[in-house]
Structure 1
Amino acid sequence: MNFDNYTVRLLTNDDLHPYFRMIERNRHRLMDYFAGTTSKTHTLEDTATFLSENVQKAADRTYFPYIIIDNTDNSFIGYIDLKRISWNIPKAELGCFFDENYAGKGIATKALQLATDYFFHEFGIKKLFLRTHPSNASARRIAEKCGFEVEGLIRCDHITTAGEIVDLLYYGKVNESK
């Protein structure tokens, strides 16, 4: 999938070094809400194992990790994943993060909209949802620009790396074309 000067594609085992660099650049921002990712990518060896596991999950159709690449210098600038997939309904959760150097440029909104459309049409997903902390104004704006609607605040829904139990806002979007 392509837009402007960017590519969105499945993550592969060959992406080890640029993926690790992206995580390292943003680790401080990802710690609390992407604890699984940050805890499994402390070293290159850990990250290689993590990538291998995720590539296998994609082959098994239980998890799909996508990377966003800036085509001008081939740097990895973001990540979108499709997780908690229920093929029976079919529905899934979206997760995403972007390099802080690319924040505020509209790239995240375009990438998320492209991925949402792709998941609806290529995978036959009927509903997508995402979760974010109520204070994450940027994520909320992006979700709303992509047509997601607030479905509710779930209290005590997530534990941060620091051990704080926090509420999360749930956003949903239904594929109306089916």
Structure 2
Amino acid sequence: MFRHLIDKDVELRLLENNYAEEIFKSIDSCRNHLREWLPWVDATKTFEDTKNFIEMTKKQFAANDGFQAGIWYRGEFAGVIGYHGISWCNKSISIGYWLDKRYIGKGIMTKACRVFIDYAFNDLKLNRVEIRCAENNYKSRAIPERFGFTKEGLIRDAEWLYDHHVNHVVYGMLVNEWK
């Protein structure tokens, strides 16, 4: 079982089946909050849906196409961060993340993102890390901005969120820009 202790409060763990209940309870408890920015919330209606997601992430890991990790804060499940597949031919990757509303504003996701960015550049030897955020999701956008990612553009109507489209802001960081 993979575990990475970031500090005394924050830990990353590769998603495993035995975490399904904690993850599902988190999603279920803040469904409206997550639904504002994430298109998959309504498709995660049951504990079984969460187990299926975890199985998919295990296949992604086994295929060397990135991975998803749970974020624990002081021993409690707080969210998920992961890679949206690796483009080995382009040496690039995209990071996605979500946090239970109870843990927003504690610097948790910033710490987790730093680990994932470092890993992409230093361990996977990639050249580019990308983060896309909904244009009006300022809390999510604050993370790549905090790290000095370059705002590269806007993708109009990039994502369908239940009853409307949202634009995505694209942020990029190159290995030679990462400190």
**What TM-score does the superposition give when structure 1 sets the normalisation length?**
0.89
Name the SS of the counterpart of 2:126 in structure 1. coil
Equivalent pair of 1:83/1:93 in contact (CA under 8 Å): yes
**SS at structure 1 position matched to 2:120:** helix
Q: Gaps spanning 5+ residues in structure 2: where?
A: none
In structure 1, the residue matched to 2:165 is 165
Q: Counterpart of 2:157 in structure 1: which amino acid?
A: C
**Whole-Å separation in 2 of the counterparts to 1:34 and 1:55:** 21
Once residues 12 and 76 of structure 1 are traced to their aligned partners in structure 2, the CA distance between those partners, rounded to angstroms, is: 13
Tell me what 1:100 maps to.
101
Q: CA deviation at 1:117?
A: 0.7
Match of 2:31 in 1: 27
Pick from 50, 54, 57: which aligns with 1:51? Answer: 54
Partners of 2:37 and 2:137 within 8 A in 1: no
- For the residues of structure 2 that align with 1:161 and 1:32, how far apart are their CA atoms? 9
In 2, Cα distance between the equivalents of 1:89 and 1:51?
27
Give the partner amino acid of 1:55.
Answer: K
| Root-mean-square deviation over aligned CA pairs | 1.8
Secondary structure at the aligned position of 2:30 is classed as helix
Please list every run of 5 or more consecutive structure 1 residues that lacks an aligned counterpart in the other structure. none
TM-score normalised according to structure 2 size: 0.89
| Aligned AA (1:165) | H
Aligned to 1:35, the other structure's residue is in SS state coil
Once the two structures are TM-superposed, the CA of residue 177 in structure 1 deviates from its matched residue by 7.6
Percent identity for Structure 1 against Structure 2:
30
Q: Can you list the C-alpha shifts for 1:96-118, whole angstroms capped at 9, x where unaligned?
A: 11111111121211111122112
Shift of the alpha carbon at 1:13?
1.6
Structure 2: how far apart are the matches of 1:143 and 1:177?
Answer: 13
What is the Cα deviation at residue 32 of structure 1? 4.6
Q: Distance in 2 between matches of 1:134 and 1:115?
A: 22
Distance 1:62 1:3 in 2: 23
Q: CA–CA distance in 2 between the matches of 1:148 and 1:133? A: 16
Instruction: Quote how far apart the aligned CAs of 1:34 are.
Output: 2.4
Cα distance in 2 for partners of 1:177, 1:139 equals: 21
CA distances 1:69-98 after superposition (whole Å, capped 9, x unpaired)? 12x3x2110211101420111101110111
Hey, what does 1:11 align to over in structure 2?
A: 15
| Correspondence 1:138 to 2:139 | yes
> Which amino acid in structure 1 is aligned with residue 166 of structure 2?
V
Contact 2:69 2:82 in 1 (8 A): yes
Q: In terms of mean alpha carbon deviation, does 23-32 or 99-108 score higher?
A: 23-32
Matching residue's letter, 1:174:
L
Matched position secondary structure for 1:104: coil
> Per the alignment, in what secondary structure is the counterpart of residue 95 of structure 1?
strand
